[in-house]
Copies of this chain bind each other. A is one copy, B any other.
Amino acid sequence: MPKAMLDQNQLRMIAKLFSVLAEPTRLDILQHLKKKPLSVNQIVEVAGAKQANVSKQLGILHDAGLLQRERLGNLVYYKIADPVIFDLCSLVCSKLRKDAEIQLAAFAKQR
């Protein structure tokens, strides 16, 4: 655990990683890949986005090191490279859920 402050370079890297996770389409792709690897076409079908866009976002996720690519004949399969992203999303999800509960409780009390 680092107690020291992060420098500008480290902050930029962290921000970059967060920014890759800051797009609904990419998050959707990630959650579909959580179960098992999928080909581009399969992702296009489940993610409800155009092929060009899916390919582009897969490239971004791959460049960020979040996805692994494997070519099998005519198909290209993508899979999660580092499951830590699910921990990240879990944290965010529980935070949002907790916030929503607080909102709800406040609203209920007020009536």
Taking A10-B96, A18-B92, A84-B95 as given, write out 12 further A-B residue pairs in contact, using a Cβ cutoff of 8 Å, ordered by the A residue number.
A6-B27, A8-B24, A11-B27, A14-B93, A17-B96, A18-B22, A19-B19, A21-B22, A22-B22, A65-B99, A87-B91, A88-B91
A residues with a Cβ closer than 8 A to B are: 1-2, 5-6, 8, 10-19, 21-24, 27-28, 31-32, 65, 82, 84, 87-96, 99
A-B residue pairs in contact (CB < 8 Å), sample of 27: A1-B90, A2-B93, A6-B27, A11-B27, A11-B28, A12-B24, A13-B96, A14-B89, A14-B93, A15-B22, A15-B23, A15-B24, A15-B27, A16-B22, A17-B96, A18-B19, A18-B21, A18-B92, A19-B19, A19-B22, A21-B22, A82-B95, A84-B94, A84-B95, A88-B88, A88-B91, A88-B92
